[in-house]
Amino acid sequence: MANHRISCPLVLALLLVFFYSSVVLSAAPVTYNVVSLGAKPDGKTDSTKAFVTAWTRACASANPATIYVPVGRFYLRGVIFNGPCRNNAVRVRIDGTLVAPSDYRVLGNGANWILFKHVNGVTVSGGTLDAKGTSLWACKSSGKSTCPSGATTLQFSNSNNIVVSGLTSLNSQMFHIAVNGCQNVKMQAVKVIASGDSPNTDGIHVQSSSGVTILNTKIGTGDDCISIGPGTTNLWIENVACGPGHGISIGSLGKDLKEDGVQNVTVKTVTFTGTQNGARIKSWGRPSNGFARNILFQHIVMVNVQNPVLIDQNYCPDNKDCPGQVSGVKISDVTYQDIHGTSATEVAVKLDCSSKNPCSRIRLENVKLTYKNQVAEASCVHAAGTSSGLVQPSGCL
């Protein structure tokens, strides 16, 4: 009788193949097409329910999941994508355009149009978010007191490991993109488009967040291209084109008496074109325990910028709640390195610091700014630091 023994190595190999194929199958990604779930690409039919269904299923999936938005225009009301999810790899891939309601009152009194909250490992790639904010801007410019504040187009709140890539934000009601209470966020190849006179339309706003990176991004809007709020640490901004807009601003800081500080911020390889400000730090002129330190502005080109280098610690809009007071925010270790180009005003470097908490360890290294083909001027008040290399305008520090 033949001996049908099977060798141990063969058994082991078969078991490994079975185990491996089971793991691969169990981790197979799934895709939810919003059109298959009822969304209509006509820009008019309310597709909110289909998007919510797609999110609910993707978030509940044990496997990596993709929500796919094909070519077309999809009408979307205000929506919250809540986590946490079963998996940490939900991708929202957009080939089309998401369209907000034309009536600004539908979203205008809400904080956000699209909100991701308590999520981990979400990627949003491609597509356009058309917030249709122009009618709200017109309402605000008319001076009517009944205009709502407006909604932020896209916000990530209390979330980690986020990627936003190749996204275009068009005509936001208020902020275009906001990152609040997040860790490890990467934004790349983002475009922000709004008119230079659109009110409060910050391009990207970051606050209470750590490890945010913004790369290869083009922003034209009516307020700060990038605004950096309290509690922001380890922020890296590189290869950004800004204009029109109000520049890249740290602040406003010091609005509250007790406030988290800003530290470890790098802004490099940025071109400002026709903006109100370039590299700006601003704080309210009133008491606060806030601070801004370890800030680097490097390899910056200014093209006809009104205030290329600005520290303003006497910010007091409409002269309310702060006249006669001084800023408590402490600004230190700020370096301006390889800054050159043209100023639209005579004073290209203005450091207007707090009399109670003077700016310290400010460094100007290889700064050359001109006004009408002449060396521009500098103005420094309550600021201490050093200059090195060629610095024009000189005599400030």
The letter for the amino acid at 125 is: S
* The predicted structure's pLDDT at residue 304: 98
Distance of CA 322 to the CA centre of its chain: 28
Cα torsion 88, 89, 90, 92 to 10°: value is 140
Q: Which CATH class is domain 224-316+327-396?
A: mainly beta
246 is catalytic: yes
Reduced to 3 states (helix: H, G, I; strand: E, B; else coil), residue 105 is helix
Residue listed under structure tokens 């308590």 = 118
How far from 142 is each of 21, 135, 136, 137, 277, CA to CA, in Å? 65, 11, 10, 9, 25
pLDDT tens digits, the chain, 397 residues: what are they?
444 444 545 445 444 444 444 443 456 889 999 999 999 999 999 999 999 999 999 999 999 999 999 999 999 999 999 999 999 999 999 999 999 999 999 999 999 999 999 999 999 999 999 999 999 999 999 999 999 999 999 999 999 999 999 999 999 999 999 999 999 999 999 999 999 999 999 999 999 999 999 999 999 999 999 999 999 999 999 999 999 999 999 999 999 999 999 999 999 999 999 999 999 999 999 999 999 999 999 999 999 999 999 999 999 988 888 878 999 999 999 999 999 999 999 999 999 999 999 999 999 999 999 999 999 999 999 999 999 999 999 988 8
Q: How far apart are CA 237 and CA 249, in angstroms?
A: 12
Domain 35-140+148-216 and domain 224-316+327-396, same fold? Reply is yes
Return the domain boundaries, the chain: 35-140+148-216, 224-316+327-396
The letter for the amino acid at 286 is: R
How far from 248 is each of 88, 95, 105, 143, 242, CA to CA, in Å? 32, 30, 30, 27, 8
* The predicted structure's pLDDT at residue 7: 52
Residues near 324 by beta carbon (within 8 Å), at least 6 away in sequence? none
* The predicted structure's pLDDT at residue 23: 40
Nearest to 251 by CA among 239, 242, 259, 240: 259
Nearest to 275 by CA among 302, 253, 295, 256: 302
* The predicted structure's pLDDT at residue 17: 43
CATH 2.160.20.10 applies to domain 35-140+148-216: yes
* The predicted structure's pLDDT at residue 24: 38
* The predicted structure's pLDDT at residue 2: 47
Choosing from 176, 205, 246, 382, the catalytic residue is 246
